[in-house]
Structure 1
Amino acid sequence: MSDEDTLKRKAIHFIFFQIALLQEISRSVVRYIKMMLFYQKKSIIKLFQENELPQKERPKVFVAVAHITSVEESKNPEKGAAKIERLRHTIDGLLASFAHCDLSIAIQTLPNRHVTAYLPEYQTKCIQVQEYPECDPMFVGFRLQEEFVEKVEEFDWFLFIEDDIILSDAFTLEKLEKFNGQSGYENAVLYPNRYEMYQGTKRYIDLTIARQLLTNKLSSVEIEGVKFAEFNNPHSAFYCLSRKQMKHWIKSGRLFKNQIVDVGPLESAVTFCLLECFSIYKPHPSNLNYFEVRHYDSKYSKLYPEPESPYTLSAVDRSSNTAMVENS
């Protein structure tokens, strides 16, 4: 190799070295600038901080929980362990979802037919246990409606929930307000879709229990890209009415009170008796998860195990996983 070729190679190496050096210096400078901007962000936020937090009146929410156990379960925490666990989760869900509200929780039950004494102390301090010995256990759901009527001027919202339903949605009231104000139906009420978790899948049980799921296309409505519809099975074990809706219900005379309208007294109290006065909507199958509650059990999933149902969802492609196991 000639001296001229050697010089050319050295020159090329020098040029590429300089380019690499400049790139590294550039990366270091950019990294340093980003770090400086990051450290200055707190000072900028402090400089332009809001001096006052927005003052917003806290909604007043009254929740009535229908809760009945056997006498044996109420006297023995080991036998009542499952009922204690699900009631604890129901109350925690309420405390989390309505932490921004003035919340009152009443447990509607009967003497010696509840497990509230075994709840953690922080929960027993924030609930009121209401025992009504004259009430048929199957009709407790109707009895708690009377609490709503008596307190109609004291609260903004009235929520019925069974003791195995978990609400995990801090925007519940905002969703209800939007639906009530924009649905176009004065007597429409929004219910959540109810689901169970079973073997890693999410099953919208009220949509799989019915042999054929039907929605009312004529009365379906869309609000800001979210669709809602009337279903042939509107049950959710949950409803939440505004004060205006409660007054409308009271004014109607509540002719279905204490009446078994459909299925049984439990379902009639929480769902079907309201149909005398309201049209019940749920989020449309195209956006089921917009408003939902969890059933803290898997009994319906076991009774109606329909893995191919479009209302049984899984984040994992089980068919491909099965194929991988079989091929391994």
Structure 2
Amino acid sequence: MHLNWKSKVSLPVYEDATLNAELTELVRAANDDDAFAALLHWAEGKIALDLQELLETHLYAVRDLLDEVPPSSGVRVTTPTWLECRTAHTRLRERLSAEVEAAETLKAQAAEAWHTLRRKTAESHRIRFDRATALDADGLERVGTLHKELSEAATRIDAAFEEHVEACHHLALRDEEFLVFSATPGSIQSHEFDEMTPAEFEKAIAHLTQRDGHRLTRRQGGARDLGADVIAITPDGRKIVFQCKHRQPGGRPLGSPVIQTLNGTARPVHQADIVIAVTNGSFTQPAEELAAEQNIHLLAGLDLRRWAAWGDPLLEVLSLEGAQPS
């Protein structure tokens, strides 16, 4: 026996005598280098296996985080920030999904690193750890790299949630402003539009236009209005022509004939810079397509709610704020 340190470890005893004898002979033949190489082999394997456990825990944790973030389709439509909320949730879910894929890759690479260590030291521990032998980067060096990548992944996830929390906090503050405005007399809710007569609907649109600071030149249409129910002038001199179409709840959507009529008079007759068809109902797809072709703005649904109920300026809703007069 060449080993010269004291040990509390005793040789195992097997039922087979030949096995006991062979094991005893191998131990007697072992020296310090053999024992130290075996210890190094065990230590490397333990480090690699510990990393696999860390990565598996990390993978499950990221999957749980992803499950806790509601899909964008689960974001309720309450205020004008709903689209931004959905975008924020989608962005966070995409980043977490990418981290799940990255964690799965790291876990597979850690397993491969462990198998590499096992294969390279299976035949001779002493050769593997000889001072003259260059260690391969595919072994424990790779495990060290994976540890670093795991730390970087945790940092990325923390950053993703910090950005998400900051974005949602900003949106929550804006939501509060919208909700406060919706409780004021200047806010008109969807159900209030539905309860109006066509004449009251035109007056409401005129009121909202004036609320935005536009100067009214026509408050209500009539038999000879030629498609212009409400006309206003913006502070920068642009003329807005509205055609107002009130619908009873559940009524049929407005079709392309409405757009054709408006297109035939708004600019040629009224010299409109901005042409708007507004309804408390909805528009058909052909009407939407024709309006897009003729540069006519359709105001309904969520856009009408943004303007009427939550107080967003009309030109902002229509993405016309800051546009130059024609």
Q: TM-score, normalised by structure 1?
A: 0.21
Query: Which protein has the larger Cα radius of gyration, Structure 1 or Structure 2?
Result: 2
Q: TM-score, normalised by structure 2?
A: 0.21
